[in-house]
Amino acid sequence: MDNRAYKFIFIKQKFLTNKNLSNIKFSGLKGQALVIKDKDIPSIKEFQDVIPDHYFRCNTKTSLRYLLQSAFIQSLVVAIGLSIPFTPKMIPIWIIYALISGTTAMGFWVIAHECGHGAFSKNKTLESVTGYLLHSLLLVPYFSWQRSHAVHHRFTNNITNGETHVPLVIKGNGVTEKVGGEKELHFSNSLGKKNYGILQLVLHLIFGWPAYLLTGSTGGVKYGTSNHFWPIKPFSKALWPSIWAKKVWISDIGVGLTLLGIVYLVLKCGIFPVIAMYFGPLLVVNCWLVVYTWLHHTDSDVPHLSNTEFSFMRGAFLSIDRPYGRVLNFLHHNIGSSHVVHHVCPTIPHYHAKKATVLIKKAFKKAYLFNPDPIHKALWNIACNCVAVKSDIKRGRYIWQSSYKMVD
């Protein structure tokens, strides 16, 4: 038995003997995130000292090359799609096409994501135009997302100020904590593990992204009900300071023009071709987006932090890298396998983040989180077991409780 196995046994016994925290489902991380100490977390300077200076700089030509790579692949897929008859009996083929086309198109989302972080080009006009166009074509309000996503980075896994994937709290106070955790546990218990897991996968993968854009779903209590298209009442304005409110309207123009183009194509070509060639793949893109963000920042043995225990670096090092495999890493520019580096310094472009990940994994072994579980297994674990969190007051953190044993 190796040292890691002995360590896991020790961690598991430690939590099993704690009555308030014994209801934890351990993931492939084997409880590592629960025993990280403050001294294990590097400072920003220590992080920077490990990584060569040129990794922090983007190169416009290199970034454009990766954009062209995604465009070339997508063009080939679309060309194949145009050769498929638009007939009802070909619906099974069109479903396969949507899965393939949406998976390849996710590469554009990642490039736009880099633009939003300032990791695409030193030419900021080129960067903003590129990100704006790519996200608008995917019906994403670029500047609105850029603002909310920056807040998400600043407060990763913060129970109060977190901007996405903030859990319900058992006996939450409604001021610094979301309420409803005990009700969700009752609901999951009555529904059963399998049914609850299936329901969560459907809600997250199909409806999660639209719900986030329209209502700020899964955001912390601080931001209320926000809307990425409407930065004023009746929705909360907490996410949109005055300068950003203007940018929200600019984002709406890009999405609106794309919708007008879609209406034109429907009138010219009919509804079925537009669904087959655009909306089907777009649904798959949105699913991939939720898969990545959900798995980056959620696991059954990864805690959330109170304001008293939170720091930027502590939150960033609660991000989780995962094994997406060579094909997806190639198509999606390593967004899922180098996310810890990205959260510490989002201006590092993806083509350097991969190499930087190797360095921080070696330098900060106790703090760096990599879950080796296959993606489908990890998704199922999270869907079934990440129901609500319980406060560990002494440690200033919140621990996921497994669904099917009620917590007093």
How far apart, in whole angstroms, are the C-alpha atoms of residue 11 and residue 14? Answer: 5
Please confirm whether the linkage preceding 303 is cis (ω < 30° from 0): no
Q: What is the mean pLDDT of residues 329-354?
A: 97
How far apart, in whole angstroms, are the C-alpha atoms of residue 210 and residue 215? Answer: 8
Write down the pLDDT at residue 24: 83
The percent of residues in the chain predicted with pLDDT above 70, rounded, is: 93
Does the pLDDT value for residue 4 go beyond 60?
Answer: no
Reported as type and span, the H/E element at residue 271 is helix 271-274
CB 239 within 8 A of CB 148: yes
Write down the pLDDT at residue 6: 45
Write down the pLDDT at residue 22: 60
What pLDDT, in 10s, does the model give residues 252-285?
A: 999 999 999 999 999 999 999 999 999 999 999 9
Mean pLDDT across the chain: 93
Q: Which amino acid is at 365?
A: K
Q: What is the mean pLDDT of residues 203-224?
A: 94
What pLDDT, in 10s, does the model give residues 369-403?
A: 999 999 999 999 999 999 999 999 888 899 998 75
**Is residue 340 packed enough to be buried (19+ CB in 10 Å), middle (13-18) or exposed (0-12)?**
buried
How far apart, in whole angstroms, are the C-alpha atoms of residue 15 and residue 1? Answer: 21
CB 285 within 8 A of CB 105: yes
What pLDDT, in 10s, does the model give residues 103-117?
A: 999 999 999 999 999
Reported as type and span, the H/E element at residue 78 is helix 60-81
Report which of residues 141 and 11 the model is more confident about.
141
* Residue 65 CB coordination number (10 Å): 11
Does the pLDDT value for residue 124 go beyond 90?
Answer: yes
What pLDDT, in 10s, does the model give residues 35-50?
A: 999 999 999 999 999 9
Q: Residue 217's closest CA among 281, 293, 284?
A: 293
Does the pLDDT value for residue 408 go beyond 60?
Answer: no
Does the pLDDT value for residue 17 go beyond 90?
Answer: no
Write down the pLDDT at residue 15: 56
Write down the pLDDT at residue 12: 56
List Cβ neighbours of 266 (8 Å cut-off, separation of 6 or more). 274
Estimate to the nearest angstrom the gap between the alpha carbon of 300 and the chain centroid: 16
Report which of residues 27 and 11 the model is more confident about.
27
* Residue 378 CB coordination number (10 Å): 24
How far apart, in whole angstroms, are the C-alpha atoms of residue 350 and residue 160? Answer: 29
Instruction: Please give the structure tokens belonging to residue 34.
Output: 């629960």
At residue 234, the 3 state secondary structure works out as coil
Bridge partners, 392 (sequence order): 397
